[in-house]
Amino acid sequence: MVDNVKPRPYHAPRRREAAAHTRRGILTAATRLFLERGYVATTMAAIAAEAGVALDTVYAAVGPKPALFRLLVETAISGTGEPVPAEARDYVRAIQAEPDPGRKLARYARALREIQGRLAPLFRVLQQAASAEPELAALWQEIAERRARNMRHLAAELAATGALREGVSVEEAADVIWATNASEFYALLVFERGWSPERYERWLAGAWRRLLLKDA
């Protein structure tokens, strides 16, 4: 007798979307708890309960707690649900395509306002936990070094336009941008001194023009 029962179709896109939805929920729950309780006091079990999933699901979706926090940092930088290399980010491509050096810097200042709104609160969590969590300290050092390399590329682009002030080298321009684009700097002005993110953006773009460009 021939069995006419057809196998149930395998809906891979639907499964991927469900997995992505679960992962987003875990990241949202983790962010909320880390900001409320800090890194050390936030357990993976608490994140699972907040996200409404099993603990094993959290580990399968995002890995152990240090890997989860790294993912939160990387997605805060990218502005998407996934880590994105600098060269693939939309704002980086827009900056590279902008021929005017002043507008390059203004575009970057605007991007930073958006990035730091997501990243700087996580930085405060990391700052409090880094002394007791070597993996977090290493993560922030890695990101700082990566920013330095990326700022070297941006400074080289500015230099290629002939716009850098006399006596300002590519290395100095890169260091100035690197120091002032840090989460620490944003936290000081916005969290500690009460600046609005918009004021931070305007000040940053203007300061970079005055410090680095000869036709500011």
pLDDT (tens digit per residue) in 92-145 = 899 999 999 999 999 999 999 999 999 999 999 998 888 888 888 898 889 899
- Is residue 167 helix, strand or coil? coil
Question: Shortest CA distance to 44 belongs to which of 17, 76, 67, 22?
Answer: 67
Helix orientation angle between 90-97 and 134-160, rounded to the nearest 10 degrees? 20
Between residues 13 and 65, the one the model is more confident about: 65
Please tell me the pTM assigned to this model: 0.84
Between residues 90 and 196, the one the model is more confident about: 196
- Structure confidence by residue, pLDDT tens digits, 42-89: 999 999 999 999 999 999 999 999 999 999 999 999 888 777 877 788
| Banded pLDDT at 11 (limits 50, 70, 90) | low
For the chain, percent of residues with pLDDT exceeding 70: 94
> What DSSP line would sit under 107-134, residue for residue?
HHHHHHHHHHHHHHHHHHHHHHHTTT-H
For the chain, percent of residues with pLDDT exceeding 90: 72
| 101, 110, 152, 171 from 167: Cα distances, Å | 17, 27, 17, 11
**What per-residue confidence (pLDDT) applies to 1?**
47
